[in-house]
Amino acid sequence: MRKLYFLLPVIFLACKSGTSTTKENEVKINAKPLEISYKVRENEISDFLKYLSSDELEGRETGTKGIEKAAVFLEDFLKKNKIKPYFKTYRDTLTNFESPAFNIVGVIEGTDPQLKKEFVVLSAHYDHIGLEKKEQADKINNGANDDASGVTSVAAMAKYFSETKSNKRSILIVFFAGEEKGLLGSKSLVEKLKKQNFNLYTQLNIEMIGVPMKRDYLAYITGFDKSNMAQKINEYTGKKTIGFLPKEAEYQLFYRSDNYSFFQAFGKPCQSVSTFDFENFDFYHHVSDEFKVMDIPHITAFTQELLPAVTKIAVSPTQEITMNK
Ligand SMILES: [Zn+2]
């Protein structure tokens, strides 16, 4: 997540925000969710996240040697899982950053001759804030939660679609660089896609899902009121997967991650899903945001629970997720 300047330590000490809101209660649950037999594997989630947040990658700051290692790792992952590059290669060079920087972009073509012309974007940013300047025992901001956790979940979803071929629409898998520098990777990519008349249906961007919230729903989306995304996801999963977190509205998180660049360019439902609620994680942009504080069963369960939703998004005959008027 892009730096929250107003996120002072005092916020973590602030008392727990009020009880459930009317918005949470509005969420309707469908009796007939999509059944998915595919199982996301905990050991694969763990291995992937462990490497991406390891000290070797030195905090994955855009333009550094560390993020280059991450880029190679992500390219290898896509290739190994038979996901094709969207451009000539997996690398999409940022047009708005001085030293070489790359989004990593793959595509899983849809199986329906008509629907495959429409795209669902699944994304997360793989850059983080790098090394601390001042001398201290641990200088590496590993960014395990922010946002190696999101990248790990998106990678697992990509693997699922590649193996099961259960998407009628095409799916664009995007790992953004430059998010922490001001959403640069997504701003650069949307310009290119706009020029190609990219036919976007919706984007799900996954941000900071490394630890669970203590709430009666699994995750929240940013910009809850902007579309019917939350209601549709819950209908598709048959669970209280997405709820309304008042703090996301208060801090306007909708504008603080790569979903915003896509929303601005396409005016479609483009939102971030997160389980960071300002109460469950003390290490936002901190050197202690490390693999060892990540909850692997939670990340696995989160990804598993979203599979029926992303599948329905990719197969529904019409575009059911729409902007609210
Ligand atoms: Zn961040």
Task: Find the 277 Cα to ligand 1 centroid distance in Å.
Answer: 14
**pLDDT single digits (tens) 191-201:** 999 999 999 99
**pLDDT single digits (tens) 15-30:** 344 444 445 445 555 5
* Measured torsion, CA atoms of residues 297, 298, 302, 305, in degrees rounded to the nearest 10: 60
Task: Find the 226 Cα to ligand 1 centroid distance in Å.
Answer: 23
Task: Find the 257 Cα to ligand 1 centroid distance in Å.
Answer: 9
Task: Find the 186 Cα to ligand 1 centroid distance in Å.
Answer: 14
227 or 6: which leads in pLDDT: 227
Contact indicator for 240, 20 with CB cutoff of 8 Å: no
H/E element holding 185? helix 184-195
Beta strands in 27-142, from DSSP E residues, in sequence order? 84-85, 91-93, 102-108, 119-125
Task: Find the 172 Cα to ligand 1 centroid distance in Å.
Answer: 22
DSSP type of residue 144: I
Task: Find the 234 Cα to ligand 1 centroid distance in Å.
Answer: 27
- Going from N- to C-terminal start, the domains of the chain cover 38-211+259-306
Rounded Cα distance between 275 and 157, Å, is 17
Contact indicator for 2, 277 with CB cutoff of 8 Å: no
Task: Find the 3 Cα to ligand 1 centroid distance in Å.
Answer: 6
Above 80 in pLDDT, residue 31?
no
Task: Find the 315 Cα to ligand 1 centroid distance in Å.
Answer: 32
Task: Find the 52 Cα to ligand 1 centroid distance in Å.
Answer: 15
Contact indicator for 241, 206 with CB cutoff of 8 Å: no
Above 90 in pLDDT, residue 13?
no
Task: Find the 155 Cα to ligand 1 centroid distance in Å.
Answer: 19
Above 90 in pLDDT, residue 179?
yes
Name every residue whose Cβ is closer than 8 Å to that of residue 305 and which is 6 or more positions away in sequence. 218, 237, 239, 241
3-state DSSP assignment of residue 81: coil
Question: What average pLDDT does the segment 99-123 reach?
Answer: 98
Beta strands in the chain, from DSSP E residues, in sequence order? 84-85, 91-93, 102-108, 119-125, 170-176, 200-206, 219-221, 242-243, 270-274
**pLDDT single digits (tens) 216-227:** 999 999 999 999
Rounded Cα distance between 11 and 41, Å, is 35
- The percentage of residues in the chain with a pLDDT greater than 70, rounded to a whole number, is 92
Domain 38-211+259-306 has CATH 3.90.180.10: no
pLDDT of residue 236: 96
pLDDT level of residue 74 (50, 70, 90 thresholds) = very high
pLDDT of residue 23: 55
Task: Find the 143 Cα to ligand 1 centroid distance in Å.
Answer: 8
DSSP type of residue 19: S
Task: Find the 181 Cα to ligand 1 centroid distance in Å.
Answer: 9
Supply φ then ψ for residue 121, to 5 degrees: -100, 125
pLDDT level of residue 4 (50, 70, 90 thresholds) = confident
Above 50 in pLDDT, residue 102?
yes
pLDDT of residue 26: 52
3-state DSSP assignment of residue 215: coil
Give the closest residue to 143 by CA, choosing from 161, 131, 159, 133. 131
**pLDDT single digits (tens) 229-282:** 999 999 999 999 999 999 999 999 999 999 999 999 999 999 999 999 999 999
Would you tell me how many other CB atoms lie within 10 Å of the CB of residue 168? 18
HSE at residue 8, side-chain half, CA atoms within 13 A, is: 3
Task: Find the 119 Cα to ligand 1 centroid distance in Å.
Answer: 26
Task: Find the 126 Cα to ligand 1 centroid distance in Å.
Answer: 10
Paired with 85 in beta bridges are: 106
Would you tell me how many other CB atoms lie within 10 Å of the CB of residue 53? 30
Task: Find the 128 Cα to ligand 1 centroid distance in Å.
Answer: 6
Least confident of 83-92, 128-137, 299-308: 128-137
Question: What average pLDDT does the segment 184-197 reach?
Answer: 98
H/E element holding 161? helix 149-164
pTM of the model: 0.93
